[in-house]
């Protein structure tokens, strides 16, 4: 049994995704998170409109934006995020487990394609707001670590193209 007090970081990026905030504030989700050992939820709420809630067991904190986004990710045990490519990749590079929630209200939602591929590669789980409680039941420890970037790839490719390699 893991008795460590866990911290969840929820981020919607720089946009509005109030539906994600409202979904996580639902009693069913908060109960589930509490039963998983979470004691604190830090919401990064962007520019959306939402009602701040309080909870008897969980400490709920709300902030529009963070100067040290990666610091917030690093001190968390799980990240639940919108499907923005930059956010997904930043979180995956930290090695933290990630659940991506698709914003179904977006037109031409290309973000779902990225989330589907990253789930297919077993780096994260993705869902909609309506599927979040079921997704929380998945084995987060089975997710693969995202590979570190090879910073030499581009220069190697360029050298090959120029005939230097």
The pLDDT score that the predictor gives to residue 108 is 64
The pLDDT score that the predictor gives to residue 107 is 59
- DSSP conformation letters of the chain: ---SPEEEEEE-TTS--HHHHHHHTSHHHHHHHHHTTEEEEEEE-TT--------SSSEEEEES--S-HHHHHHT-SEEEE---HHHHHHHHHHT--EEEE--TTSSS-THHHHHHHHHHTTS-EEE-GGGHHHHTTS-GGGSPPPPPP-TTHHHHHHHHHHT--
Whole-prediction pTM: 0.88
The pLDDT score that the predictor gives to residue 109 is 65
Residues in CB range of 31: below 8 A, 6 or more apart: none
Share of the chain above pLDDT 70, in %: 96
The pLDDT score that the predictor gives to residue 126 is 96
The pLDDT score that the predictor gives to residue 1 is 42
125 strand-pairing partners: 99
What are the chain's domains? Answer: 6-162 (3.40.50.2000)
Q: pLDDT (tens digit, 9 = 90+) per residue, 12-50?
A: 988 889 999 999 999 999 999 999 999 999 999 998 888
Model confidence at 10: pLDDT above 90: yes
The pLDDT score that the predictor gives to residue 32 is 97
The pLDDT score that the predictor gives to residue 70 is 95
Share of the chain above pLDDT 90, in %: 72
Model confidence at 2: pLDDT above 80: no
The pLDDT score that the predictor gives to residue 34 is 96
Q: pLDDT (tens digit, 9 = 90+) per residue, 49-77?
A: 888 999 999 999 999 999 999 999 999 99
Which region among 55-64, 76-85, 142-151 has the lowest average model confidence (pLDDT)?
142-151
Among residues 141, 83, 128, which one has the least CA distance to residue 110? 83
The pLDDT score that the predictor gives to residue 74 is 96
Model confidence at 5: pLDDT above 90: no
């Amino acid at each position: 049994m893991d008795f460590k007090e866990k911290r969840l970081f929820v981020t919607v990026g720089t946009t509005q995704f109030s539906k994600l905030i409202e979904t996580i504030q639902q009693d069913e989700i908060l109960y589930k998170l509490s039963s998983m050992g979470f004691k604190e939820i830090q919401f990064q709420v962007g520019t959306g409109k939402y009602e701040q809630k309080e909870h008897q067991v969980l400490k709920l904190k709300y902030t529009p934006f963070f100067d040290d986004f990666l610091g917030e990710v690093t001190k968390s045990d799980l990240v639940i995020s919108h499907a923005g490519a930059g956010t997904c990749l930043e979180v995956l590079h930290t090695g933290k487990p990630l659940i991506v929630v698709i914003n179904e209200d977006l037109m031409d939602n290309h973000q779902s394609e990225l989330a589907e591929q990253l789930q297919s590669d077993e780096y994260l789980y993705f869902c909609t707001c309506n599927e979040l409680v079921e997704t929380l039941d998945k084995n987060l420890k089975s997710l693969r670590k995202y590979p570190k970037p090879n910073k030499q790839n581009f220069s190697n490719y360029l050298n090959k193209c120029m005939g230097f390699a």
